[in-house]
């Protein structure tokens, strides 16, 4: 039985995607640090280009790498400090939550509701929380591929300025110009996406700190940091970021917990539906379903690093597909928003 000619390109594309995904999974020890190095190189390339115009290439590269090392060191230090602070007071909050839950059970039983007291609740929550904290610390300390990523980043930064000349030599003039424009446009939009996400995440984190501080919720700085990090994960991250400070607020009083929940939900709604779309532009917005699927998919392909980088990877694919007419349908499906087609 011979397949219709119209199906051959579709089947070929499906087979190609399956082979690419299998290759990415099999070579994750190389492709994961390469992906991180690529995104970092895209982010810092404008700074490096400006420095190259005024300083020798080696000196400008050293300045960029020192700046990245300083940012990384500060970030890891803040995360470790936050985890240690939370770990010291977590048992106290769990005891208070357990007392609150006991009170709720007593009230329910007095009203004739069929709720049996659960003596294992506190122990179970303690075990889960301790495992989560230990897992977070192990993620921070799992830097076995860091050296490889830095090596790739250095090589990328050394050669990133020569890619246009290589394209001219590798392809005809029209094709090389089209590819160069597509790469430049995609890189610029990706930088804008990550910059806006960083800015709105910072605003979300600061607002979270201020709201928790006004309500007297303990560990306000820690919850601000959690909101800052999770805001890079659309929709799902915003929901998760509200839960820990709400639980701590409940341990300090039901009124405090409700006020914490409502206030943080309002902040997340405001930034997610008004500030971020206004700054970002609708063409860079992923649908919530695609955002969740991208995290799950890249987490399946590359593990925890894949889940962390899943959203930027999907955004990059969307932006690249927008640059070519045959693939703009893929961009529309992933973003859920119409794009003007290029001739």
DSSP codes of every residue in 241-293: HHHHHHHHHHHH-HHHHHHHHHHHHHHHHHIIIIIHHHHH-GGGPPPHHHHHH
Residue 161 lies in a domain: yes
- Rounded distance between C-alpha atoms, residue 288 and residue 295, angstroms: 11
DSSP codes of every residue in 71-126: HHHHHHHHHHHHHHHHHHHHHHHHHHHHHHHHHHHHHHHHTT------TTHHHHHH
Residue 38 lies in a domain: yes
- Rounded distance between C-alpha atoms, residue 192 and residue 198, angstroms: 10
- List Cβ neighbours of 55 (8 Å cut-off, separation of 6 or more): 63
Residue 28 lies in a domain: yes
Residue 78 lies in a domain: yes
Quick one: tokens of 51? 């420095």
H/E run at residue 51: helix 28-52
- Rounded distance between C-alpha atoms, residue 148 and residue 31, angstroms: 10
Per the CB < 8 A criterion, the answer to whether 133 and 86 are in contact is yes
Quick one: tokens of 34? 């390469």
Q: What's the pLDDT at 336?
A: 55
Q: What is the pLDDT of residues 196-247, one digit of tens each?
A: 888 888 999 999 999 999 998 888 888 888 888 888 776 677 788 888 888 8
Residue 311 lies in a domain: no
- List Cβ neighbours of 107 (8 Å cut-off, separation of 6 or more): none
Residue 89 domain boundaries: 8-110+146-170
- List Cβ neighbours of 159 (8 Å cut-off, separation of 6 or more): none
Report the C-alpha dihedral over residues 20, 171, 33, 63, rounded to 10 degrees.
-170
Residue 105 lies in a domain: yes
- Rounded distance between C-alpha atoms, residue 143 and residue 196, angstroms: 27
- List Cβ neighbours of 288 (8 Å cut-off, separation of 6 or more): 234, 235, 236
Domain count, the chain: 1
- Rounded distance between C-alpha atoms, residue 106 and residue 84, angstroms: 34
- Rounded distance between C-alpha atoms, residue 78 and residue 206, angstroms: 15
Q: Is 3 helix (H, G, I), strand (E, B) or coil?
A: coil
- Rounded distance between C-alpha atoms, residue 217 and residue 24, angstroms: 44
Residue 52 lies in a domain: yes
- Rounded distance between C-alpha atoms, residue 337 and residue 218, angstroms: 41
What are the counts of helices (DSSP H) followed by strands (DSSP E) for the chain? 14, 0
Q: What is the pLDDT of residues 240-268, one digit of tens each?
A: 888 888 888 887 788 888 999 999 999 98
Q: What's the pLDDT at 343?
A: 38
Q: For residue 18, give Cα distances in angstroms to 14, 149, 322.
A: 6, 26, 22
Q: What's the pLDDT at 130?
A: 52
Residue 247 lies in a domain: no
Quick one: tokens of 201? 């995440």
Report the C-alpha dihedral over residues 304, 305, 309, 314, rounded to 10 degrees.
-70
Q: How far is CA 116 from the centre of its chain?
A: 40
Residue 167: how many other CB atoms lie within 10 Å: 17
Q: What's the pLDDT at 207?
A: 93
Each of the 343 residues of the chain gets a pLDDT tens digit; together they read: 555 666 677 778 788 888 988 999 888 888 888 888 888 888 888 888 888 888 888 888 889 889 888 887 777 777 677 666 666 666 565 666 666 666 666 666 666 655 555 544 445 455 545 554 554 544 544 555 677 777 888 878 877 767 767 777 777 777 777 777 787 888 888 888 888 888 888 999 999 999 999 998 888 888 888 888 888 776 677 788 888 888 888 877 888 889 999 999 999 888 877 777 677 665 566 777 777 788 889 889 988 788 778 888 888 888 888 877 777 787 777 775 554 444 3
């Amino acid at each position: 039985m011979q397949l219709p000619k119209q199906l051959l390109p579709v089947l070929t594309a499906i087979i190609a995607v399956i082979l690419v995904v299998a290759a990415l999974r099999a070579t994750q020890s190389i492709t994961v640090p390469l992906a991180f190095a690529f995104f970092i190189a895209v982010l810092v390339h404008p700074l490096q280009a400006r420095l190259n115009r005024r300083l020798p290439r080696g000196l400008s590269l050293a300045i960029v790498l020192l700046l990245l090392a300083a940012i990384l060191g500060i970030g890891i230090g803040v995360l470790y400090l936050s985890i240690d602070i939370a770990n010291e007071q977590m048992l106290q909050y769990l005891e208070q939550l357990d007392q609150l839950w006991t009170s709720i059970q007593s009230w329910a039983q007095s009203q004739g509701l069929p709720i049996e007291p659960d003596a294992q609740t506190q122990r179970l929550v303690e075990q889960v929380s301790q495992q989560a904290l230990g897992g977070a610390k192990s993620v921070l300390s799992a830097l076995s591929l860091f050296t490889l990523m830095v090596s790739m980043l250095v090589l990328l930064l050394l050669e990133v300025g020569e890619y246009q000349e290589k394209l001219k030599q590798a392809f005809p003039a029209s094709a090389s110009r089209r590819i160069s424009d597509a790469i430049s446009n995609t890189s610029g939009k990706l930088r804008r996406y990550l910059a806006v996400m960083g800015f709105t995440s910072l605003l979300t984190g600061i607002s979270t700190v201020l709201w928790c501080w006004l309500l007297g919720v303990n560990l306000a700085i820690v919850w601000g940091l959690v909101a800052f990090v999770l805001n890079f994960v659309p929709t799902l991250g915003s929901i998760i970021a509200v839960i820990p400070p709400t639980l701590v607020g409940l341990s300090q009083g039901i009124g405090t917990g409700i006020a914490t929940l409502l206030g943080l939900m309002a902040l997340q709604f405001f930034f997610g539906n008004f500030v971020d779309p206004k700054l970002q532009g609708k063409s860079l917005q992923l649908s919530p379903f695609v955002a969740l699927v991208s995290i799950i998919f890249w987490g399946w392909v590359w593990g925890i690093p894949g889940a962390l980088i899943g959203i930027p990877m999907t955004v990059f694919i969307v932006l690249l597909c927008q640059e070519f007419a045959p693939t703009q349908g893929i961009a529309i499906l992933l973003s859920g928003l119409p794009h003007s087609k290029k001739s």
